[in-house]
A and B are shown apart, each in its own frame.
Chain A
Amino acid sequence: MTLWLAIPVSILLVAGGLFSVLAALGILRLPDFYTRMHAASKAGTIGSGLVLIAAGLGSQDPAILIRALAGFVFFILTAPVSAHLLARAAHLSRVPLAKISVRDDYARKQNEDRLK
């Protein structure tokens, strides 16, 4: 591997690893389930995406690069769907929002629906 390939590959790898660590830290530190989903869905997607692209570039094989890019695309397609379904399922089973939350239009709407 030449230096000109090694540098971007290592930058991508370190950046991807950093985002994954920060996503994990976010899951630990954020106050409730919903805010944790933010860390998992965004920083997690970018982290794994960067590592995949680094692996694809580092292999120096177009077939592997295409597969790595396809993996990234599938991450982008599936991460928001799973985050949405988990958040919805949590809210429907009454997982409370953190105390510091300022509003909840979704709960208000469900109450209105129940009164109808």
Chain B
Amino acid sequence: MTRLIVLLLFTLTWVAVTGSFTLLNLAFGLVLSGLALFLIRENVQPSRIAVRPFKVLSLVILFFKELALSAFKVAVLVVRPKMDLKPGILEFPLKVDRDFEITLLANLITLTPGTLSVDVSDDRRFLYVHALDCADPAATIRDIADGFEAKILEAFR
């Protein structure tokens, strides 16, 4: 059932990206999507992830707000004659433990102000984050934990 929905979503994406809504293109998209899903069949297990649509929406809104803020901050930083930087790599203790949540959190961190994920520890307990302002690592860690991580836990648990 889930596979069928994914297949239809793939087909819709194909039709949208090619921009031609003909029956022939729809059929071609269906064949392509089937092939693509067949190729990655080992990697997609049917999952039991609870998704809360409104919390996901709130996560998306927070993300775009932070992304805009982040680009603006970098822009302001680089035009200053004297750049005030205290960069460093800090260790972020992860509360989320599933792979897709860690991936999502790492990507969100990269696109938000002054932080960039570098690596995750092998035991998946820590995320290593490069920060432009590492003067107060505890505050940065608290910001991420109360912001994105809390939202991810709300949206997918």
Interface residues, chain A, CB within 8 Å of chain B?
Answer: 18-19, 22-23, 25-26, 29-32, 34-35, 37-39, 41-43, 45-47, 63-64, 66-67, 70, 76-77, 79-81, 83-84, 87-88, 91, 97-98, 100-107, 109
> Are the CB atoms of A105 and B90 closer together than 8 Å?
yes
> Are the CB atoms of B19 and A39 closer together than 8 Å?
no
Interface residues, chain B, CB within 8 Å of chain A?
Answer: 13, 16-17, 19-20, 67-68, 70-71, 74-75, 77-79, 83, 85-91, 106-108, 110-111, 114, 116-119, 121, 126, 128, 130, 132, 134-135, 137
CB distance from B62 to the nearest CB of A (A): 14
Q: Interface of chain B, helix or strand or loop or mixed?
A: mixed
A67-B16, A103-B137 known; A45 vs B71 contact (CB < 8 Å): yes
| Residues in B whose Cβ lies below 8 Å from that of A46 | 67-68, 71
A66 CA to B71 CA, complexed, in Å: 24
> Are the CB atoms of B89 and A97 closer together than 8 Å?
yes
| Residues in A whose Cβ lies below 8 Å from that of B116 | 34, 37-38, 41, 83-84, 87
B17 CB contact (under 8 Å) in A32, A38, A70: A70
Query: Closest residue of chain B to A37, judged by CB?
Result: B116
> Are the CB atoms of A19 and B71 closer together than 8 Å?
yes
A66 CA to B118 CA, complexed, in Å: 32
| Residues in A whose Cβ lies below 8 Å from that of B132 | 35, 38
A76-B111, A106-B118 known; A97 vs B88 contact (CB < 8 Å): yes
B71 CB contact (under 8 Å) in A31, A34, A42: A42
A66 CB contact (under 8 Å) in B19, B75, B86, B110: B19
A22 CB contact (under 8 Å) in B75, B86, B107: B75
> Are the CB atoms of A84 and B106 closer together than 8 Å?
yes
Query: Closest residue of chain B to A98, judged by CB?
Result: B87
Query: Closest residue of chain A to B133, judged by CB?
Result: A102
> Are the CB atoms of A19 and B16 closer together than 8 Å?
no
| Residues in B whose Cβ lies below 8 Å from that of A70 | 13, 16-17
> Are the CB atoms of B78 and A39 closer together than 8 Å?
yes
> Are the CB atoms of B13 and A87 closer together than 8 Å?
no
CB distance from B64 to the nearest CB of A (A): 9
Query: Closest residue of chain A to B126, judged by CB?
Result: A109
| Residues in B whose Cβ lies below 8 Å from that of A37 | 116, 130
